[in-house]
Structure 1
Amino acid sequence: MTGRQHRARAAHPAPPGPPRRATLRLLKQLFTDRLALMGDNAEVYGDVVRIAIGPKAMYLVNHPDLAKHVLADNAANYHKGIGLQEARRALGDGLLTSDGETWREQRRTIQPVFQPKRIARQAAVVAAEVDALIKRLGAHDGPVEILHEMTGLTLGVLGKTLLDAELGGYETLGHSFEAVQDQAMFEAVTLSAVPQWVPLKKQLEFRTARDDLRRIADELVEQRLANPVENGEDVLSRLIASGSGQGASRERMRDELITLLLAGHETTASTLGWAFHLIDEHPDVGERLHAEAVEVLGDRLPEHEDLRRLTYTAAVVEEVMRLYPPVWLLPRVAQADDEIGGYHVPAGSDVVVVPYTLHRHPGFWTDPERFDPGRFDPANPAGRPPRYAYIPFGAGPRFCIGNSLGVMEAVFVLAMAARDLVLRKVPGKVVDPEAMLSLRVRGGLPMTVHRRERVRRAEAA
């Protein structure tokens, strides 16, 4: 340790945290309940917590000002961390996992695809995809696996809006991405102690999934190379225009596509799953959604301009993402020593900002466990918490590039579903969160679908 490091530690002590004797309990939570691991320790030890598990120490950051420091003010000192490092085996150096100049170049290449005017022009495509989903759901007789349906929708939207391609034929995509998440989290919680060649079921499934994702990405690139779009604005066209399509450039395109396919569908699908669960738990919310959809849309498809009028629907989406942020963990690795909240954080440390706990911080949210879309009522902006108390899309330079498309998609789905349908969970279904790379419903979400007019008639009879 250098003299400078000694002085830093003397001036800024290590953060509080659970004692070494708690290691077994922490390990159990790390494997079985990562949300409790974060939430319990933040509640006991405060807004900066040092959690030591074996040879690793993780620094939990749970205050808006401190989140801003890590994600924005001193972002250059923090590279991608635990979980995302392990996901690199499947995602390569895509936008989600890369750092430094590689990341900046990738961002410059893809950013124009997400310009607000271009996303606004995609509203009709999104509405048509949602309309097809609502009709498909309404025709069901019996339980529907709603997360499967949302995954199919979000992949379809992603393909048409961002890739100018049909993804309907790639039915294995959702399963392959689940296997990637499972393996990445397994490696993270085991500190990569299990060799990758060990033929565990999870690791075998990961290899199959990785090969499947690479095959799909390569097929999409080959299709576009064979049928180029003149002055194409989609991601495939921009990636091809930015490189030769050969060698390292071809590998880069594959990495970007796999990353985009995962990030572009998983977060919105997870948000919609949690939304349908919470609406089922709060029928009054469903009734208000229905009333707004009827008033704003009537019997037509939504348009981009309707986003400004579907204010309650947008508030529901925001409150869903507060309670169940699809990206529940923002992991970083400190490149140099730092001071966070008066505490010393040494270089090489895993630093995690946890939107899940930040969004439930009692210092910034009244009755934080309660589902209340009124928190995001645009007529009451003074009731909103500080900017960095709510970060469902991250913050700073790595703010989610696709946030506007995801929000539009979620608002359209909830408005059209509430107008025409009532979704109810299958009796006995226990809904618990599963904290992987995204925050998803454990074990899926089977629901029964009812045409709203039939429900009305049954209630009136």
Structure 2
Amino acid sequence: MSAVGDRPRRTGRGAVPPGPPPWAAPALYRRLVADRLTLLTRATARYGDAVRMTIGPKAIYLFNHPDHAKHVLADHSGDYRKGIGLTEARRVIGDGLLTSHGEVWRQQRTTIQPLFQNKRLALLDSVIADEAGRLVERLRAHAGGGPVDVSKEMTGLALGVLGRTLLDADLEEHSSLGHAFEGVQDQAMFEMVTLAMVPLWLPLPLHLRFRRARGELHRIVDRLVAGRRRDPTDGNDLLSRLIASTGLADGGRTGHSADGEARDRLRGELITVLLAGHETTASTLSWAFHLLDRHPEVRERVRAEAISVLGDRPPVYQDLHRLTYTTMVLEEVMRLYPPVWALTRVAEREDEVGGYRVPAGADVLISPYTLHRHPAYWREPDRFRPERFAPEASADRPRYAYIPFGAGPRFCVGNHLGMMEATFVLAMVTRDLRLTGLPGRRAVPEPMLSLRVRGGLPMTVSLTSRR
């Protein structure tokens, strides 16, 4: 490429970040569609911690330094709103906690936050352990037989935990949820790469599949809401709180227009909770079992710790502080394969990040996937080494060099629940079973709304001894 695109250029306020020249836009767009992770990785490797890429009508500002992440996500979070990908996803999943901003987001966060307090999570340990035990038994049934799709099993597990811990509902009877979310995610990513310029009314196969998926999700959440109205709880579950927050707890108000808006909002919030609440944990656990298979010495340490701490019993909340190596393994899994691989924002007003000018309205991208591989903060960044999260190894690491749950006010509200769930599952499954990948099959990351394993993760199951 010409040096025209390589050098920063000075303006009145800060420099314009270096990046590919304008005539590289078609190649960048093809990479955005086909291989988004490689696009980001190559951009930071060539141009450094600040990159400006012109793709179609958009100029994307990619920042890849801990100080940049702190500036955009935390210190100046009020100057930015949700950006590319999530903005387009609003057409798909509605206005839930993932896509909303401003006062709507603050109200939603206030409604949800109390359900994730540690004192409440401590009371859910038996529910999570029970779901993990049921997963172990489902996998055990495949021992010595053909492969099982571990990603699909982790999705079922995560939905089961989500239903029982947050919604006080059994999601097993809604077996179409996983398939419906596939159609929604495919559409959301299509909206992102086409910049939402393709009308949804066009009868494209993808659009038809999406409309069927969205209709199924609406039917499921409507049934959940109707069931809760028929059978109220004490009001301390998320489903009841969301119903109450929309003003529909008693069946609706008098204005049909207002009722319709409230139902749309409730649908959007529930769909977002269902999607975000299971997808990130399922993808993290899938990558964890893949990496344990590739690194048997790590798997044996996890297994030995589980036997030492748990013995034959299920885990309890207090065990989280004892399963230290298992926690380090999960932290390293999320470093290499962060469940949320891109955090997108739009600048509400002109800003300066790391000495670079960001115009008002610019699309800004912080990618945990590239930040977690920054060679200045991670030695041998592509290597799987859980020991890097030992206290003595991570003491001097910048806080914002590792952001698997985001940062700032939009820090993932369910991070503690997700970590407890993943820790329990990894310990219990590894204690009792060995999952082995199929020879010759590669696990390829697929950056959708979360960073999942493309095409699933088929593995065979064998039994292990607890001695």
Q: What TM-score comes out, normalization by structure 2 length?
A: 0.93
Identity of aligned residues (%): 62
Give yes or no for contact 2:131–2:157 (8 Å, CA) kept in 1. yes
Residue matched to 2:293: 280
Q: Distance in 1 between matches of 2:48 and 2:82?
A: 24
Q: SS of the counterpart of 1:215?
A: helix
Q: Does 1:164 align with 2:177?
A: no
Residue matched to 2:247: 244
* Match of residue 215, structure 2, among 204, 211, 220: 211
Instruction: Name the stretch that deviates more: 172-181 or 236-245.
Output: 236-245
Q: How does 1:43-442 map to 2 (within 5 A)?
A: 43-140=45-142, 141-230=145-234, 232-245=235-248, 246=252, 247=259, 248-378=261-391, 380-382=393-395, 385-442=397-454
Q: SS of the counterpart of 1:11?
A: coil
Q: Does 1:452 align with 2:456?
A: no
TM superposition shift of 1:13: 2.3
Aligned pair count reads 446
Q: SS of the counterpart of 1:339?
A: strand
TM superposition shift of 1:120: 1.2
TM superposition shift of 1:156: 0.3
| Structure 1 unmatched runs, 5+ | 1-7, 457-461
Q: Distance in 2 between matches of 1:327 and 1:239?
A: 24
TM superposition shift of 1:196: 1.6
Please give the per-residue CA displacement for 1:15-68, whole angstroms capped at 9, x wherever unaligned.
110112322221121011100111100111111110001221100010000101
In the superposition, relative to structure 1, how do residues 256 and 60 fare at CA in structure 2: closer, same or farther (>3 Å)?
same
TM superposition shift of 1:378: 3.3
Give yes or no for contact 1:311–1:378 (8 Å, CA) kept in 2. no
In the superposition, relative to structure 1, how do residues 346 and 404 fare at CA in structure 2: closer, same or farther (>3 Å)?
same
State the one-letter code of the partner of 1:139: A
| Structure 2 unmatched runs, 5+ | 1-9, 253-258
Please give the per-residue CA displacement for 1:126-183, whole angstroms capped at 9, x wherever unaligned.
0000001001101112100111100000000000000000000111111111211111
Q: Distance in 2 between matches of 1:303 and 1:186?
A: 42
Q: SS of the counterpart of 1:168?
A: helix
Q: SS of the counterpart of 2:434?
A: strand
Give yes or no for contact 2:346–2:363 (8 Å, CA) kept in 1. yes
Q: SS of the counterpart of 1:183?
A: helix
Give yes or no for contact 2:342–2:366 (8 Å, CA) kept in 1. yes
Instruction: Name the stretch that deviates more: 93-102 or 16-25.
Output: 16-25
Q: Distance in 1 between matches of 2:13 and 2:316?
A: 57
Q: Distance in 2 between matches of 1:380 and 1:428?
A: 34
TM superposition shift of 1:379: 5.1
Please give the per-residue CA displacement for 1:304-342, whole angstroms capped at 9, x wherever unaligned.
000000000000000000000000000111111111111
Q: Distance in 1 between matches of 2:32 and 2:288?
A: 26
Give yes or no for contact 1:87–1:180 (8 Å, CA) kept in 2. no
Instruction: Name the stretch that deviates more: 174-183 or 60-69.
Output: 174-183
Q: Distance in 1 between matches of 2:335 and 2:214?
A: 32
